[in-house]
Amino acid sequence: AQSVAQPEDQVNVAEGNPLTVKCTYSVSGNPYLFWYVQYPNRGLQFLLKYITGDNLVKGSYGFEAEFNKSQTSFHLKKPSALVSDSALYFCAVRDIGAGSYQLTFGKGTKLSVIP
């Protein structure tokens, strides 16, 4: 079975400071990992994904994430937060060996960037 944990329900960061949103995962095989963002009353918007290759993945809006196999983590990062980054962030995993195309999502982390 595949699972995702986002240990923080909420993260607060001052505008201009670096931000990190944490994600750890559990799969039986190798993972495909995704980050999505959800703005109020909107659907999920794709940010970035890790499939293979470089452990550091760059995505939309200046976000990046680092895949760490030994720690089974895929934390989302941004060097300098903007107020407009305030939203709900979801980490998701798909187990390559599971034979299923469904994504398993974490509970989400609410990011608040304070002006």
Map the footprint of another protein across residues 35-64, applying CB under 8 A.
36, 41-46, 49, 51
Return d(Cα 20, Cα 45) in angstroms, integer: 18
Interaction pattern, residues 87-106, with another protein; x per rule: CB under 8 A: ---x-x-x-x---xxxxxxx
Q: Taking a C-beta distance cutoff of 8 angstroms, is the pair 67, 49 a contact?
A: no
| Residue 109: C-alpha distances to residues 28, 30, 64, 73, 98 (Å) | 25, 24, 16, 15, 26
Exactly one of 14, 28, 80, 107 binds another protein (CB under 8 A); that residue is 107
- Under the rule (CB under 8 A), what is the footprint of another protein? 32, 34, 36, 41-46, 49, 51, 90, 92, 94, 96, 100-108
